[in-house]
Amino acid sequence: MTAPVIGVLALQGDVREHLTALTGAGAQARPVRRPEELDAVDGLVIPGGESTTISKLVDIFELRDPIDKRIAAGMPVYGSCAGMIMLATEVLDGRPDQRGFDGIAMTVRRNAFGRQVDSFEAPVEVDGIGGGPLHAIFIRAPWVERVGDGVEVLGTVTDGPAAGRIVAVRQGNLLATSFHPELTGDLRLHGYFVDLVRTTS
Ligand code: GLN
């Protein structure tokens, strides 16, 4: 079985960690900064970082149209944290000029968990991923306030002040998490995405 080619949008954020995790999960992983590089991948990861900055750089690097078109054509995309924000159709507490890819029919709230719990860790059970809960790391993370038709909720926080908050979703070939599996060394979420790309391409 050949390894699918998966790009990591390499404009800002924790690109290297995703490249390492994707390689470990059996993909050929490459940074994507230019439209020609996007053409050469079967799937794309949008990393955590700062969604307002990524939004600006997507325009500067002339990647908005090409990514919109690939998403419309069914390319699998996984967005983590800022990447989740970039995939949402609606962003609360965003900057008025930030724009995403309108991929997943959901409303996300930026920096939702609040100042006191800017960063925290919690076990999150994700539907479709066996072997027990993922150790989820949240860093100034968004949560999902509402999902529209066709969006599957894959994971919620189970304990503490944020209990019940949706933090992992999927709509068709688009996957998003509020948290950062690339920082844990646990490759299961990346493996799930690699399988999705493999069965799509
Ligand atoms: N707060 C950031 C944003 O708005 C996301 C943080 C992250 O990706 N770790 O984009």
pTM of the full structure: 0.96
166 has binding-site annotation:
no
**Cα 101 to Cα 65, 88, 127, distances in angstroms:** 9, 7, 24
How many angstroms separate the alpha carbon of residue 2 from the centre of ligand 1? 33
Helix locations, 40-166, DSSP H: 51-60, 64-72, 82-87
How many angstroms separate the alpha carbon of residue 68 from the centre of ligand 1? 21
How many angstroms separate the alpha carbon of residue 115 from the centre of ligand 1? 13
Domains of the chain: 5-200 (3.40.50.880)
- Measured by CA distance, the residue closest to atom 2 of ligand 1 is 50
111 Cα nearest atom in ligand 1? 1
113, 78 in Cβ contact below 8 A? no
Confidence of residue 159 (pLDDT cuts 50, 70, 90): confident
User: In whole angstroms, what is the distance from residue 2 CA to residue 152 CA?
Assistant: 29
pLDDT for position 140: 94
The residues carrying an active-site annotation are 81, 180, 182
Tens of pLDDT, residue by residue over 162-180, are 899 999 999 999 999 999 9
Tens of pLDDT, residue by residue over 92-113, are 999 999 999 999 999 999 999 8
49 Cα nearest atom in ligand 1? 8
Tens of pLDDT, residue by residue over 10-24, are 999 999 999 999 999
Overall average pLDDT of the 135-153 stretch: 96
